[in-house]
Homo-oligomer: A and B are copies of this chain.
Amino acid sequence: SGEMAKLPPLLDNEAFRAYATYATIVLLKMMLMSLVTAYFRITRKAFANPEDTASFGKAENAKKYLRTDPDVERVRRGHLNDLENIVPFLGIGLLYALSGPELSTALLHFRIFAGARTLHTFAYLIPLPQPSRGLSWAVGYSVTISMAYKVLKTALYL
């Protein structure tokens, strides 16, 4: 369409399309954590806000559902860990995709990151014995460092 023509051909570039695909996938995976949290809050009846427990009846009765639950807290830690690791991937990955990487190298970075973060979520939620979670975290972290190195090598302007 005419609209498309005015855009820079970012999405014609295969490395950028790969970035768009994997960035969207890991963000959707992160968004899923909100639904998992809601699921555990409802099934465990463990809420953070008085207004969330109003449907359980009178104030005195509802108050006991204002509590923390180990399963809810576990999902929330996994969600926060996603934020801490997916935000750097989003920012550094975007710049990396714009730095002219080899397509195969870029795909390798994006695929490993998405795989490692998916494993991290399973390791956190099941939970799997350590060092499953630690290793999957470290793999995603290392991929981001590797992309940051390429960005700084290509773009450095202090």
Contacts and interface: CB of A to CB of B under 8 A. Distances in A.
Given A23-B95, A24-B151, A55-B130, A17 B157 contact: yes
Oligomer: number of copies: 3
Interface SS of chain A:
helix
A144 interface: yes
Contacts of A101: 3
A99 B151 contact: no
Contacts of A15: 3
Nearest to A151: B24
B6 A157 contact: no
A156 B18 CA distance: 7
A117 to B, nearest CB: 14
A98 B51 contact: no
B98 A10 contact: yes
B18 A157 contact: yes
A92 B27 CA distance: 8
Contacts of A92: 23-24, 27
Nearest to A99: B11
Contacts of A6: 9, 12-13
Contacts of A18: 157-158
A8 B16 CA distance: 11
Highest count of chain B CB atoms <10 Å: which of A95, A103, A141:
A95
B88 A27 contact: yes
Contact of A87 (B16, B17, B24, B27): B27
Contacts of A11: 98-100, 154-155
